[in-house]
């Protein structure tokens, strides 16, 4: 899987209220037009609550 740009990730998560669960992150990204590659990557995130946007990027870096 190609590396996903953290800025692109945050564009799809713009307006998401934190803390947010993995499901919140996925639903919000889908609502904002995330492509299949990003959705697949988000599905691989740990099932946890993210306190801030950088927590999502950090988790993506660990699974991506």
Per residue of the chain (64 residues), what is the pLDDT tens digit? 457 888 999 999 999 999 999 999 999 999 999 999 999 999 999 999 999 999 999 999 998 6
pLDDT tens readout for residues 16-33 = 999 999 999 999 999 999
User: What is the 8-class DSSP label of residue 3?
Assistant: P
Q: Decide if 29 contacts 42 (C-beta within 8 A).
A: yes
> What is the dihedral sign for C-alpha 31, 1, 8, 21?
positive
The Cα–Cα gap between 37 and 39 comes to 6
Q: What is the mean pLDDT of the chain?
A: 93
The Cα–Cα gap between 3 and 27 comes to 21
């Amino acid at each position: 899987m190609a590396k996903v740009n953290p800025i692109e990730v945050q564009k799809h998560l713009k307006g998401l209220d934190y803390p947010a669960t993995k499901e919140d992150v996925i639903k919000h990204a889908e609502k904002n037009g995330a492509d299949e590659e990003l959705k697949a990557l988000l599905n691989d995130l740990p099932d946890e609550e993210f306190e801030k946007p950088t927590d999502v990027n950090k988790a993506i870096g660990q699974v991506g």
